[in-house]
Structure 1
């Protein structure tokens, strides 16, 4: 078994912090993010500021609080497919494209050549045959359930330090967020088409530790250790790091993309000027289509700027399917895997230049943008309101920003007026990077995000995890089996809030959990 140590020297050129880069990029004329909203009048801006101001009244639910996704919120009764509902304000005409995208999201791809030419091109190396395989019923994934089991809804990201002056320059220019293993690429593929060996198998073991909370309650945390076995194409680069990532929930992605950059950047405090110890930093990436600098919003380290970027990346890295945005039909195969590069691919010239030509990528993107956030449950119940107060008083809302109002001037990916426009939404995230401490570090740099940095994940829908996914698995690698465990893993900038939670009385802690379960 190969175990890869954390490499905290990865991309040292990026370790100086976001402020240095923001100044450098501004001087170079590269970084040009707006500092104020340009889509609203002065009167509208004042209304938005009023409605998004943090509450101090926990005696009742806030106006529209139960409608987490604004007018797009699904009010369907809770059931296991509740994360698979369309935006409530989508309309019948556009609903057809949603259902077409849904079919493609669930589609099982097959190896080439195949009699079903519109469905072949899988791999040749891959982690899953469909999007739905990872995002279980459009919800979150989980780590392997047993030793030797297929990871499926969890992948191991591979990255190493810059090895040449050209790579160092690419990192400085944000043309690369990190660098793939020279043999196995940027992701370990544990599955392969017939006639080809998979790259290897993911291994995970746990060491348990007990934490005692106020009042004498004890909680067992499991600390994971990751490795790989059965490497088919030689050893990993000794500087390559492994980062486990479970699939995140799909709900509300279009709403997240519709949040104005200025409103996200307003919460950034990279050098800690406000004295709270919370130093949120924006992720700086390049839009994969335009090449322009953009604000990262999607992925565990906010490595993608748009829903389309995220979808195209998953098609390529997870399934090995080429799209107009990622036209390589061999996915993550490298030059050191010649048998992979010699396998047939699924490009059908009569259909297009890629295995998933237009409009496949556009339809899956549209579907992903319009998966509705479910309505809150019990938002006005006394115990939930008490838990909400504990959430605020413990400091959780410092990173899990409760609410935003989306842009009023946006179009959907289909070019029509967006159902996500001008909505009051409650994602409970600032979408910034935060140092979460050594306990959660993966040792892997992703652009400006160090091994200890993670994007604040949105909390909407988190209380339905068991219902949708059939089990609970939280944090980037699914190590936490309960919400309490997830909170207790918080460190770094979140350690003060974690300790505040641990010091609450048993009843207050349970109330806070009840609040989270209502989201």
Structure 2
């Protein structure tokens, strides 16, 4: 059963913020800035001042002209619940966007068979497809669909099992980390040997238009693939296939930065998660399966018109970003210093600048933003590895997720589970799961006193 929550709407406000746009290098990380800087305005002029349950769902307050009307059209499209007559399925995971991105926030892994499914399993075989991406599994494609319309069998069900691992910190504090194992139960057809499986929970969708407006040069300038400076951080960009351009492009969206644009990310979600075809993805996920028939490519009109795809894309491009809170408290200021001192800011880069990029909403340009990400791939060690390559991303690599708004997760979504598969039940667990390039930072947190860890967590809760 899918649980959908009501959404709140507000009128568009006007907010004028003068933003400084500066060139950045990999080694330029945020320092402990004076209270009152634009650090509070996490999204620049696209910042919303709400700390309630609708904090992720408000339009950027600097929208102007017809942008506000298009945002509302996109909001309705994002909530639209599809049925079979609209093109739902024959295979799908959920019937609308909000079923996974509840209140535009993060999903969580199901704990029982009756829990809403707000995550997916990526599937592939060893090797690459024609464009350098993951090699699809015959009869299953590149994603498991656990639901189906009448007359069609689901591809299988998500199977998740946890084992608790006790970790004792230097001050004697015990933290239990749950280690998951994943499998596919009740596949409609036997899975071939050697299937690579990667779980992914639905990420928050606010602020994405600002991240799309960060220039490629800005992102790539921070990469240090061979760790030339010897700091142990070797972030690198992913390059993926752009379906519309029919060419490789920088990847920046998704847990492994495997999508080049919000338009393609949105169309891919419609297709893989709901079985809705578009001009970008004209084939059903069930295409080629014996149970779904053999419909010739392009023989049926797209389920979703380009105008609705454009509106949905615009909606996620123009959601505002919650402002930081409690920035004047000594606890939060000290926690920020600890965050920087533990070198967390080497990957979770606090400050980025956006530019004017053709085809993107003009309101997202010219902003100084504080997303706490570098949008690069990093080796996170064997503990978090899914062992499934995704274009240039290795089985150990993940894109640095933004941290903005993370302190409101419990308020908006009613849970505090984190990481790509929702294994971490708290921010402390999430930190301790970090390995690979982030191992030194995780160890630094593990060596902190309980008082200092409380300050660090207070800072994270302020984001």
TM-score, normalised to structure 2, is 0.92
Matched, 1:295 2:250: yes
Paired position in structure 2 for 1:133: 99
2:346 corresponds to 1:371: no
Residues of 1 paired with 2:88 and 2:292: CA distance? 12
Q: Give the whole-Å Cα distance in 2 for the aligned partners of 1:459 and 1:55.
A: 14
The answer on whether the counterparts of 2:237 and 2:376 sit within 8 Å (CA) in structure 1 is yes
**Separation in 1 of the partners of 2:328 and 2:363?**
27
Residue 294 of structure 1: CA displacement? 1.3
More helix, by proportion: 1
* Residues 480-499 of structure 1, C-alpha deviations (whole Å, 9 max, x = no match): 01000000000000000000
Shift of 1:216: 1.0
How far off its partner does 1:442 sit?
A: 0.6
Deviation at 1:62, TM superposition (A): 6.0
CA contact under 8 A between 1:184 and 1:334: conserved in structure 2? no
* Equivalent position of 2:428 in the other structure: 484
8 Å contact from structure 1 (residues 348, 355) kept in 2: no
Match status 1:254 vs 2:209 = yes
Q: What's the secondary structure of 1:155's corresponding residue?
A: strand
**Cα-to-partner distance string for 1:75-103 (whole Å, 9 max, x where unaligned):** 2x322121111011012531111111111
Aligned to 1:205: 161
Q: Quick one: which of 116, 119, 125 aligns to 1:154? A: 119
Q: Which residue of 1 aligns with 2:176?
A: 220
Larger radius of gyration: 1
**Cα contact 2:78–2:312 (8 A) shared by 1:** yes
- Equivalence for 2:307: 359
* Alpha-carbon separation, structure 1, partners of 2:293 and 2:149: 12
CA contact (8 A) 1:440 1:489 kept: yes
Is the contact made by 2:24 and 2:221 (CA closer than 8 Å) also made in structure 1? no
- Counting only pairs closer than 5 Å after superposition, residues 365-514 of structure 1 correspond to structure 2 as 365-407=313-355, 409-413=356-360, 418-514=362-458
1:274 is matched with 229
**Is the Cα contact below 8 Å between 1:284 and 1:293 reproduced in 2?**
yes
Corresponding position: 1:54 with 2:29: yes
Structural mapping, 1:25-104, within 5 Å: 47-48=22-23, 53-57=28-32, 60-61=34-35, 63-75=37-49, 77-91=50-64, 93-104=66-77
**Count of residue correspondences:** 443
CA–CA distance in 1 between the matches of 2:364 and 2:65?
16
Structure-2 change in CA distance of 1:518 and 1:341 (3 Å): farther
Question: 1:312·1:323 contact (CA, 8 Å) conserved in 2?
Answer: yes
What's the CA shift string for 1:262-319, capped at 9, x where partnerless? 1111110111111011110100112221022211000000000111110011011000
Structure 1 counterpart of 2:11: none
Per-residue deviation at 1:444? Answer: 0.4
SS of 1:207's equivalent in the other structure is: strand
CA distance in 1, matches of 2:434, 2:230: 19
Shift of 1:357: 1.0
Match of 1:314 in 2: 269
Alignment partner of 2:109 out of 140, 143, 148 = 143
User: Which runs of no fewer than 5 residues in structure 1 stay unpaired?
Assistant: 1-43, 113-119
Q: What is the alpha-carbon distance in structure 1 between the residues aligned to residue 57 and residue 30 of structure 2?
A: 31
Distance across 1 between alignment mates of 2:61 and 2:425: 31
User: Aligned equivalents of 1:516 and 1:445: distance in 2?
Assistant: 30
C-alpha offsets along residues 70-127 of structure 1, whole Å, 9 cap, x if unaligned? 001112x322121111011012531111111111111110013xxxxxxx10010000
Q: Which runs of 5+ in 2 are unaligned?
A: 1-19
Aligned equivalents of 2:246 and 2:219: distance in 1? 21
User: Is the 2:29–2:346 Cα contact (8 Å) retained in structure 1?
Assistant: no
Report deviation, 1:433.
Answer: 0.4
Deviation at 1:56, TM superposition (A): 3.8
Evaluate the alpha carbon distance shift between residue 477 and residue 55 of structure 1 in structure 2; reply closer, same or farther with a 3 A threshold. Answer: closer
